[in-house]
Chain A
């Protein structure tokens, strides 16, 4: 398959996209910076929203410089717009590269979607059509991204309130093809799989088994507050609900120990509550893999 698609070699078997498992971490939000620096709570790692720190000074930057010396930091972007047909923003990528180098961030991620087209910012994660053309387009751009960033790069499956097109392939086939042709890893958002399964009537467990799980380098978990019958907004404003924990347990059983992140961006809880949520994630991982070491050291991945 790899040769047919033009790859020079068959990708070797990997686990977790050859990335370390950092255990369960949390999103680093501005409101928590002071508390975290003052009390150094026992989080395993933090994920930042890249654009909240990239080329922004003030207290955010100073705090991040302190925090990166105390915790592993991973960068998660929202503005790459990898699926857009506008030209790839090379200036953004060069600034991102400098930022990742400066803060010694070992890997980065963004979303498998588009956020901007015709030079207009939609400021949301809009799903792509699941077509051969989109696979080829996105894969080429992702190869460019990896060349510029020179570190592992993951794309995240997004929540989709609509299907732009699935006449040529399903979502899982689309994701699999992009990962294969681009060489990228997957940031598996388990909540998004669950929400999409509810909104588009598929089996989330079957979905997990149909994507290349050896490419999963990281997992996201989040909760949501309100929902109606047909559309559930992925609002990141509540604890992770029980059915998502169940799906996560199955994902860990299939994937092995992985870096897991609790995303809680709105209606922010106190740091202690966020920490509790990461402890639940650690416990679920232990239950899913009795006897396994949930955390492997970052080792020489730190740049």
Chain B
């Protein structure tokens, strides 16, 4: 028999076998049936491993995986844990949760992101009943995975520069509207059912925070501040296409104001629409989410 068969058997014992028998003869029998390609010597070697020795790896692995996802999904897991028992799934255990995740979506590849993507898939498919009953959970998972991607994204060379506040305040309205901007890199557009920014921030800070009571379709632009921290700012939903395009093509601020007036022309006059657009655009420029052409 081969090394490959032995390593596969060890993997199964650690990750997949729920109950390894305490008695060595029972282990010999179980492994002979389960790992039929292994030689009798190899079965004997595996049978000599005590269940508690295998369990040490099982515990370390699933606890370690849970620590990893807990570090990146504090809000998702806090919400999920609360919903868990009311879904009839019994007592919450982080380790058993990771074991269930592994059964449906084994961790392929060696990146943390791959494990975290499995978590989001698991919630939306296997835990669909919980996700439907508690829509905040999937919203939090989608928010937190985008946050992770943004945090870890490679540092790209920026095309364009951050507008200094002093320069910004010196511009006339016409000059300002003529400015062409791009999204900074890396940045992410996220359409969500709930704005969970405050909830996630408060949870990390150990503060109490209520969830937003009603679904509210939001468009968020995530980007990195100059100190590399991840920041999120809200955009009007009707800027989605412009904001998408601004990742690749320079777009004049006038275009954002124009779309604002087109969308809100029945509610407000042109002057008000312009002011509304600038109230969103100026923080984006000041914080470096939008960069002006060099």
Contacts and interface: CB of A to CB of B under 8 A. Distances in A.
B39 to A, nearest CB: 11
A117 to B, nearest CB: 4
B172 interface: no
Interface string B221-232: 000100111000
Interface string B90-122: 000000000000000011111000110000000
B238 interface: no
Given A57-B155, A85-B3, A163 B8 contact: no
B153 A233 contact: no
Contacts of A57: 152-156, 186
Main secondary structure of the interface of A (DSSP, over half): loop
Contacts of B48: 163
A79 to B, nearest CB: 4
Nearest to A80: B110
A83 interface: yes
Interface string A43-86: 00000000100011111011000000000000000010101110
Contacts of A114: 7
B2 A85 contact: yes
A150 B60 CA distance: 34
Interface stretch (B49-57, B173-181, B207-215, B257-265): B49-57
Given A58-B155, A162-B54, A124 B107 contact: no
B106 A133 contact: no
Given A58-B155, A121-B109, A131-B3, A164 B15 contact: no
A27 interface: no
Contact of A59 (B7, B8, B14, B227): B227
Given A56-B154, A120-B107, 20 more contacts: A56-B152, A58-B152, A58-B224, A59-B227, A59-B228, A61-B154, A85-B4, A116-B110, A120-B108, A121-B110, A121-B115, A122-B11, A123-B64, A123-B107, A126-B10, A129-B3, A161-B53, A162-B56, A164-B10, A231-B52
